[in-house]
Amino acid sequence: MKIKMLEEAKGSPDGVTVKIYEAKKEYNMPSSLGKVFVEQMKVGVEVKSKVIEIEVPEKVKIQTPEKVKVKTPEKVVKKEAKPKRKTGRRRKE
């Protein structure tokens, strides 16, 4: 939020640091602090931003290649061999 200060005032944009806002200067500040200066303290006014219109041609062509080739390295995954299970009957000791 952009505010033009009418009078000098102190305020904290982050809730920790106190800053002095000088009269007749414009400041960008969080909307919560700007509303306090404008609505409650009445020491500032909100500066409206200007809207700029740009003409865009109706037909805009974007050229892209038909085929895109991407080279990626092949990943080789080695599987660890599992120990073989013993089959058969157990011997009595």
| pLDDT at site 76 | 66
What confidence tier does 25 reach under pLDDT thresholds 50, 70, 90? Answer: very high
At residue 51, the pLDDT reads 76
Task: Please give the pLDDT value at position 64.
Answer: 66
Contact call for residues 13 and 57 (beta carbons, < 8 A):
no
Backbone phi, then psi, for 20, in 5-degree steps?
-95, 125
For the segment 45-93, what is each residue's pLDDT rounded down to a tens digit? 999 877 777 776 776 666 666 676 667 767 666 667 677 776 666 666 6
| pTM check: above 0.85 | no
